[in-house]
């Protein structure tokens, strides 16, 4: 639903990736409004924020999204390979460093990929930039260790709407 000035409830398609205390922002891809601190996840589709919406124009028609932010900044892209010029910060690069195959049986192999994940931040002070870097690398590490949500999309599963009864 549209977010109007004064709203503290933001209606989204899926709130599974958000949690209480996280910082987020509204964006239409060009303009941003932040910071919002999540005060609670009311349901799978309703997020309450501590700060009310200030600006007009946050409409579904304009493809507005609610996005997580790191130190008031938004990760704009994940680049594959080693880009020579990164247009906006913070950014993440994933660069394959090696690949090997090992035959385990006649019909199967084990593939091993080594990748280098680099986080680029731009901030006013060294200390703030370092904190943002540590926060982003922690998110990447947890995502890779715990699950594959970042790799398969945001709607991998949904809540049940009613009890399941076996027949």
Domain count for the chain, please give it.
Answer: 2
Co-location of 22 and 85 in the same domain:
no
Q: What is the pTM of this model?
A: 0.56
> Residue 23: pLDDT band by 50, 70, 90 thresholds?
confident
Considering the domain architecture, whether residues 129 and 99 belong to the same structural domain is answered as yes
Residues 96 and 64 in one domain: no
Q: Are residues 63 and 96 in the same domain?
A: no
Per DSSP, 105 falls in state S
C-alpha 90: how far from chain center:
12
Distance of alpha carbon 61 from its chain centroid, rounded?
A: 22
Query: Is residue 155 in some structural domain?
Result: no
Give 153's pLDDT tier (boundaries 50, 70, 90): very low
Q: Which domain holds residue 21?
A: 9-68
Kindly state whether residue 160 falls inside one of the protein's structural domains.
no
Residue 146 has pLDDT above 50, yes or no: yes
Position with higher pLDDT, 73 vs 151: 73
Residues 64 and 85 grouped into a single domain: no
Residues 87 and 142 in one domain: yes
Residues 17/6, Cβ–Cβ less than 8 Å: no
Residue 149 pLDDT greater than 60, yes or no? no
Per-position b or e across 28-46, b if 16+ CB within 10 A of its CB:
eeeebbbebebeebeeeee
Q: pLDDT value at position 42?
A: 93
Residues 112 and 146 in one domain: yes
Considering the domain architecture, whether residues 56 and 99 belong to the same structural domain is answered as no
Instruction: Report the range of poorest mean pLDDT among 61-65, 82-86, 94-98, 154-158.
Output: 154-158
57 with 89, same domain: the answer is: no
pLDDT of amino acid 47 = 92
3 in a domain, yes or no? no
């Amino acid at each position: 639903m549209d977010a109007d000035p004064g709203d503290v409830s933001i209606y989204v398609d899926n709130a599974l990736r958000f949690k209480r205390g996280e910082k987020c922002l509204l964006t239409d891809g060009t303009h941003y409004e932040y910071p919002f601190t999540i005060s609670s996840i009311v349901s799978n589709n309703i997020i309450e924020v501590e700060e009310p919406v200030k600006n007009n124009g946050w409409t579904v028609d304009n493809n507005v999204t609610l996005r997580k932010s790191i130190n008031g900044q938004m990760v704009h892209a994940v680049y594959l390979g080693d880009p020579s010029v990164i247009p906006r910060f913070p950014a993440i690069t994933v660069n394959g460093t090696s690949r090997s195959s090992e035959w385990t049986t006649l019909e199967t192999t084990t593939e091993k990929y080594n990748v280098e994940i680099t986080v680029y931040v731009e901030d006013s002070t060294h200390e703030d930039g370092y904190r943002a870097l540590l926060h982003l690398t922690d998110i990447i590490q947890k995502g890779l260790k715990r699950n594959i949500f970042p790799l398969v999309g945001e709607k991998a599963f949904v809540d049940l709407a009613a009890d399941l009864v076996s027949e």
